[in-house]
C-alpha cells in the first residue's frame, strides 16, 4: 500500500475538507462540558465549530504535521496535537466523545481501521459516544472504473488512486457496520457528500455508543 502519511504531509495542508458535521445531532447527545477528541482533526475545522458552540474541553489529533501547523495558525486557542501513529497518547477512559470525519477513507487497510477503533474504544469512557462521517461505494462509471483498477492493484474493491498521488477507500455499508459491531448504534443514515476533489459521493453519518 502507498504511504498515506507522506501524501497527507505533502498535500494535506492545502486541502479543504468538506464532509459536514451535524452539530444538532451531536449536541443533542453530548453535554457542553464533555471531554471531546477529534481523531484525524486536520486543521481543526470541526473543533472550531464545537468551540464556537460552547464546548471547551477539546483535543485534536492528526498525523499530518503541516495540517496541525495550519490549524494552530488558524485556531490558536485549540489544542491540536501531531500524532505519529500507534497507541494514542491518553489514558484509558479519558474522553466522553470522539469524532472521526472522513478518516476511514484515508485508512485503506481493514486491519488498521479495526486497530484504530480499538484505540478509540480504549480512551473513551464507558457509555462514550463516537460520531463518524465517511464515504460509501458509488455506482457511477468514473468510480466503478477506478474501483476495478484499485482491486487489480491493491486486492480490495473500493480502493482507488486520486489524481494528486493519494490513495483512498470507499466502503460497503456492511463493512462499516461490521467494524462497529460492538458499539450500540444510535444513528446510521446514508447521505451525499461533496468531496475535497470537487465531486459528489455516497456517504453516511453515524452516531454510536460504547456499552457500559
Give the tens place of pLDDT for each residue, 100-137.
Answer: 999 999 999 999 999 999 999 999 999 999 999 999 99
Domain that holds residue 39: 4-209
- 107 CB-near residues (< 8 Å, 6+ apart): 4, 113, 116, 169
Indicate which CATH number applies to the domain containing 74.
3.40.50.150
Say if residue 46's pLDDT is above 90.
yes
User: For residue 76, what pLDDT is reported?
Assistant: 96
DSSP conformation class of 190: E
User: For residue 200, what pLDDT is reported?
Assistant: 85
Task: Using alpha carbons only, give the angle 26, 169, 30 rounded to the nearest 5 degrees.
Answer: 10
User: For residue 62, what pLDDT is reported?
Assistant: 94
Dist CA 198 CA 196 (whole Å): 6
DSSP conformation class of 183: S
User: For residue 198, what pLDDT is reported?
Assistant: 73
Q: Please check whether residue 193 is in contact with residue 18, taking contact to mean a CB–CB distance below 8 angstroms.
A: yes
Residue 12 three-state SS: helix
User: For residue 12, what pLDDT is reported?
Assistant: 59
As given in the structure block, the three cell numbers for residue 82 are 501531531
Question: 163 pairs with which residues across the strands?
Answer: none
Nearest partner of 58 among 13, 25, 71, 15, judged by Cα: 71
User: For residue 3, what pLDDT is reported?
Assistant: 66
Handedness of CA 146, 147, 151, 154 (dihedral sign): positive
User: For residue 136, what pLDDT is reported?
Assistant: 97
Interstrand relation of 95-101 and 200-209 (parallel, antiparallel or unpaired):
unpaired
Say if residue 30's pLDDT is above 80.
yes
User: How much is the pTM?
Assistant: 0.92
Dist CA 29 CA 19 (whole Å): 20
Confidence of residue 32 (pLDDT cuts 50, 70, 90): very high
Helices (H), the chain: 4-11, 23-29, 45-52, 65-74, 110-123, 141-154, 173-179
Residue 124 three-state SS: strand
* Domain total of the chain: 1
Amino acid at each position: 500500500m502507498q504511504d498515506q502519511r507522506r501524501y497527507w504531509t505533502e498535500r494535506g495542508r492545502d486541502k479543504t475538507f468538506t464532509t459536514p458535521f451535524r452539530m444538532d445531532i451531536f449536541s443533542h447527545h453530548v453535554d457542553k462540558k464533555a471531554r471531546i477528541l477529534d481523531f484525524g482533526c486536520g486543521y481543526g475545522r470541526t473543533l472550531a465549530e464545537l468551540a464556537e458552540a460552547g464546548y471547551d474541553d477539546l483535543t485534536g489529533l492528526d498525523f499530518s504535521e503541516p495540517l496541525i501547523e495550519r490549524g494552530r495558525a488558524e485556531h490558536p486557542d485549540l489544542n491540536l496535537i501531531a500524532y505519529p501513529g500507534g497507541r494514542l497518547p491518553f489514558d484509558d477512559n479519558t474522553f466522553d466523545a470522539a469524532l472521526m470525519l472522513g478518516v476511514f477513507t484515508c485508512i485503506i487497510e481493514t486491519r488498521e481501521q479495526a486497530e484504530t477503533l480499538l484505540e478509540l474504544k480504549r480512551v473513551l469512557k464507558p457509555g462514550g459516544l463516537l460520531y463518524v462521517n465517511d464515504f460509501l461505494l458509488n455506482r457511477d462509471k468514473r468510480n466503478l472504473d477506478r474501483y476495478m483498477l484499485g482491486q487489480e492493484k491493491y486486492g480490495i474493491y473500493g480502493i482507488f488512486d486520486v489524481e494528486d498521488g493519494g490513495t483512498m477507500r470507499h466502503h460497503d455499508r456492511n463493512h462499516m457496520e461490521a467494524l462497529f459491531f460492538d458499539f450500540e448504534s444510535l444513528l446510521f443514515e446514508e447521505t451525499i457528500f461533496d468531496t475535497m476533489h470537487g465531486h459528489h459521493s455516497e456517504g453516511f453519518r453515524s452516531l454510536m455508543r460504547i456499552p457500559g
